[in-house]
Amino acid sequence: MFRRVPKVLIAALLAGSTVPALAYQATKKSPKSKPAAADGRDTVLVVVNGHKVTQADLNRKMRTLQIPENEREAAWRPQLERIVDERLIQQFLASRKIAATKQEIDVPVNQIREEARKSGSDPDRYLAEKGYTVESLREEFALPIAWKHFVDKAIPQARLKKYFDEHRAEFDGTTVRSSQIVIKVPRNDDEARRAAEAKLTALRKEIVAGRISFEQAARENSQSPSKDDGGDVGWFPYTGKMPLQLTREVFRLKVGEVSQPFRTSWGVHLCLATDRKPGDLSLEDVRDEVLARMSQELWNEQIAELRKSAKIEWKVDTP
């Protein structure tokens, strides 16, 4: 049963944002070395406005997110960047005197400790195995709770409603049907990408001019399995089924409209919106989803602004 605790922890930490806070510790480190996987726990990896982020912080982040040992070599840099972002938000909230109360933090901490007891484990021992003390765990929960307080003030009902109205089809259950033409492009191959974009731009002109149907163009040019169906990929909502880069483009189209070429991780696409079914969910039905997206956008905007004036001293190779 207690194996579920990390998921409970992650879900609670990420409530309202993507943000756990970490404690920090420090010693000296060579400025051009990678963080060690198992030792050097007090090694300083980066200093954010005078606050140190250590190897122990990074190790704890990896464990909290359940990143497998064999994937940590590739994950350490983006996760370290993520910790930097969290430090900046932590400092920002402190400057505004926005904080979680003791009672608010007690709730998730006590929940985790109680689940440990029910499973027959000692809570302190379990936390120690994950790199936590009770104090550092409380610091983890403090940031997302404080961020939620900030979001509640920054996004009043009127702003929430305006956002929903502007993005209604993305939340209200609307589904679209689309066809696509895909040209696969090797990762980081700019020449192949430009060639694919040029080919699809020319093909789009032919389709829009009526000299070839989208279905025929897909059968003759697409490198996706959907080419056998004339490019038809069926019905899908805004989230949950297709890559977000694709749904963003398709949901902007009117029925019968062909997109400009755009990129996803699969390659370069050309899409045709073939049908649309409006949804009927109200703001009250999807309030949490709308607020979560607005919270993430606000987080990203705040990070971008804070990084402009932040003093970030890297003790390892910079990204």
DSSP annotation string for 155-176: S-HHHHHHHHHHTHHHHS--EE
Flag whether pLDDT at 174 surpasses 90. yes
Burial (0-12, 13-18, 19+ Cβ within 10 Å), 221: middle
Q: How far is CA 196 from the centre of its chain?
A: 28
pLDDT tens for 100-137 read 999 999 999 999 999 889 989 898 888 888 778 888 88
Flag whether pLDDT at 36 surpasses 80. no
Mean per-residue pLDDT over the chain, rounded: 87
pLDDT of residue 249: 97
Judged by DSSP in three states, 22 sits in: coil
Helix H segments across 100-243? 102-118, 123-129, 134-154, 157-166, 168-171, 190-208, 214-221
Flag whether pLDDT at 203 surpasses 50. yes
Domain 2-158+294-314 and domain 175-277, same fold? Reply is no
Determine the Cα angle at 211 with ends 208 and 217, to 5°: 80
SS3 content of the chain, % helix, strand, coil (to 5): 55, 15, 35
- If you classify domain 175-277 with CATH, what class do you get? alpha beta
pLDDT of residue 187: 84
Architecture of domain 2-158+294-314: Orthogonal Bundle (1.10)
pLDDT of residue 26: 22
Mean pLDDT: which of 4-18, 28-42, 121-135 is highest?
A: 121-135
pLDDT of residue 41: 65
Distance CA 91, CA 305 (A): 13
Domain ranges of the chain: 2-158+294-314, 175-277
pLDDT tens for 233-252 read 999 999 989 999 999 999 99
Among 16-25, 147-156, 157-166, 189-198, the minimum mean pLDDT is found in 16-25
Flag whether pLDDT at 16 surpasses 60. no
Instruction: Give the chain's end-to-end CA distance (angstroms, integer).
Output: 39
Please state the rounded mean pLDDT for residues 73-87: 94
Q: With b meaning 16 or more CB within 10 Å and e meaning fewer, what string describes 192-210?
A: bbeebbebbeebbeebeee
pLDDT of residue 127: 86
